[in-house]
Amino acid sequence: MEWLAGTSADVLCLQEVRAEPEQLPQEVREPQGWHVVHAPAAAKGRAGVSLYTRREPDRVRIGFGSAEFDGSGRYVEADLPGVTVASLYLPSGEVGTERQDEKIRFMAEFLVYLKELRARAAADGREVLVCGDWNIAHQEADLKNWRANRKSSGFLPEERAWLGDVFAGGGYVDVVRALHPGVEGPYSWWSYRGRAFDNDSGWRIDYHVATPGLAGRAVKGFVERAATHGERWSDHAPVTVAYDL
């Protein structure tokens, strides 16, 4: 709540909320000055995404038309003037398990939707922004220990190629990477194990993925990394981008 009270953001995208809306304190469920849509997962205590907007959306959609995933608490989008903003929590996966198979199925369906969404938005003169936990580090610069993770979910060749297709074939832009080319990170997730946070041994898996027109209006992007390990309130940190609109 302290962070929310201090931010100047117009839109806040949350992932892995886990709680049902009625389980959240009133000041979190419906903060004063915000319009909120929660999309919890049908499986209690898992996933869950939310969108907080200063302005009331013109339209809200939960899910992306998937029979398998629309009830999984992984995608919600809202139409605001000139832009559709979405909160995404892509499955994390685990090599050699059904969780990885689920992730691959999600990716296949979601890429089709992303391309359709961009086409519809272009026809309507709108931009698109999909924020959230994509659970894939695209390039070697996107995780500290990339050599040790070449066979790990989140950095598999097929996952990286898929994200590349989102950018190249899908016509989207990795906004923070465009603002910070040729540098390591900035990382947005650190394991709770060992001293990963203290050593900044992290992954960049949380993205602003935007259509080119909106991406071109990004003026700054940064990770709101806590000053110390003890001050963290998640293993992720907020990824914030300011757009000149």
Q: Which residues contact 153 (CB under 8 A, 6 or more apart)?
A: 92, 93, 94, 95, 99, 100, 103, 135, 159
Query: pLDDT at position 5, please?
Result: 92
Tens-of-pLDDT digits for all 245 residues of the chain?
A: 999 999 999 999 999 999 999 999 999 999 999 999 999 999 999 999 999 999 999 999 999 999 999 999 999 999 999 999 999 999 999 999 999 999 999 999 999 999 999 999 999 999 999 999 999 999 999 999 999 999 999 999 999 999 999 999 999 999 999 999 999 999 999 999 889 999 999 999 999 999 999 999 999 999 999 999 999 999 999 999 999 99
- The predicted pLDDT at position 34 comes to 97
Which CATH number is 1-89's, of 3.60.10.10, 3.30.930.10, 3.20.20.70, 3.30.360.10?
3.60.10.10
Q: How many Å apart are CA 25 and CA 155, to the nearest integer?
A: 36
pLDDT in the model for residue 21: 94
Q: What is residue 149's predicted lDDT score, i.e. its pLDDT?
A: 96
38 is in an annotated binding site: no
SS3 (DSSP) at 85: strand
Residue 204 is predicted with a pLDDT of 98
* pLDDT on residue 152: 97
**In the prediction, which pLDDT does 76 show?**
98
Give catalytic status of residue 133 as yes or no: yes
Q: Is 16 annotated as a binding residue?
A: yes
What is the secondary structure of 30-74 as a DSSP string?
Answer: S-TT-EEEEE--SSTTS--EEEEESSPPSEEEES-S-TTTTTSS-
Residue 90: its pLDDT value, please? Answer: 98
236 is catalytic: yes
Residues composing the chain: 245
Are both 1-89 and 93-245 of the same fold? yes
Can you give the pTM of this predicted structure? 0.96
Q: What is the pLDDT of residue 150?
A: 96
What's the sign of the alpha-carbon dihedral 193, 18, 47, 50? negative
Q: Quick one: pLDDT at residue 223?
A: 98
- Domain borders along the chain are 1-89, 93-245
Q: Which residue among the candidates 52, 89, 187, 207 is catalytic per the annotation?
A: 89
Residue with tokens 């998937």: 66
Topology, domain 93-245? Deoxyribonuclease I; Chain A (3.60.10)
Rounded distance between C-alpha atoms, residue 120 and residue 154, angstroms: 29
Distance CA 12, CA 136 (A): 21
Q: What is the pLDDT of residue 91?
A: 98
Pairwise CA distance, residues 156 & 178, whole Å: 22
Collapsing DSSP states into helix, strand and coil, what is residue 79?
strand
Three-state SS string over 181-237 comes to CCCCCCCCECCCCCCCCCCCCCECCEEEEECHHHHCCEEEEEECCCCCHHHCCCCEC
Count other C-beta atoms under 10 Å from residue 14's C-beta. Answer: 21
Catalytic residue among 133, 142, 174, 206: 133
Residue labelled with tokens 């419906």: 30
